Structure 1
């Protein structure tokens, strides 16, 4: 079975919460499949966003394209509401001057209805998230 990118709005994903809001760069940009559009934070850290899936999915890997993110934590929930998150991974990202950070996080057989991304710190006051991908398959394993 081919893995699906569950973070695409075309796959039914939705950004159900984002702590920053910028009319020019809304949170929905993270789920549109394009690296050209992005969500930007406004102000202090931590910042977070939650992506909800249309059903419980089994995720094998999460990837993120972002800029100026220093510390990122990813949590998952299998609840029908975005509550009861448990930590999957936390990582300090490398600073890449003038280009997007591309990070992959293997999450073997992680079940999730929601993923929460917490940007704990940045290399600047503002960071951007261009694209988030969660590869996996529908349903329970």
Structure 2
């Protein structure tokens, strides 16, 4: 299994609805749970990850804090429009430590994944790492 979301493999965060210089969206894909992207309050919040090439996605793991409901969409084109629904997840509240949610997907190809946080357990949420597993070796 390859983690295609890592910036070292060419993945990029091409859109985020909020940004803080101390906690930029790029922290989501640096592979380090000690760094993170933080929302600036209000919902929904979203970010889009673009892969270096079309990628068969079998599972996504999201390490976050205070995320209550997460909606995931994908597309297979080079631009960031016309996404299709993939799945949604209700995340368990984990006071004082990171949430780690692995979401199994169907292995279909994607060039972009859009993550929409529709609600949180607080006004602010953070995403520490997104890990995308695919079947290519």
Structure 1: gaps of 5 or more residues:
none
SS of equivalent residue, structure 2 residue 23: coil
The partner residue of 1:76 within 68, 74, 77 is 74
Equivalent residue runs for 1:31-110 within 5 Å: 31-110=29-108
Task: Name the residue aligned to 1:15.
Answer: 13
SS of equivalent residue, structure 2 residue 46: strand
Runs of 4+ in 1 over 4 A off after TM superposition: none
TM-score, normalisation: structure 1: 0.94
Deviations 1:24-71 (A, max 9, x none): 000000110000000000021000000000110101100000000000
Total equivalences in the alignment: 136
CA RMSD of aligned residues (A): 0.8
Task: Name the residue aligned to 2:2.
Answer: 4
SS of equivalent residue, structure 2 residue 40: coil
* Counterpart Cα distance in 2 of 1:85 and 1:126: 25
* Counterpart Cα distance in 2 of 1:129 and 1:84: 24
TM-score, normalisation: structure 2: 0.97
TM-superposed CA distance for 1:84, in Å, is 1.0
SS of equivalent residue, structure 2 residue 28: helix
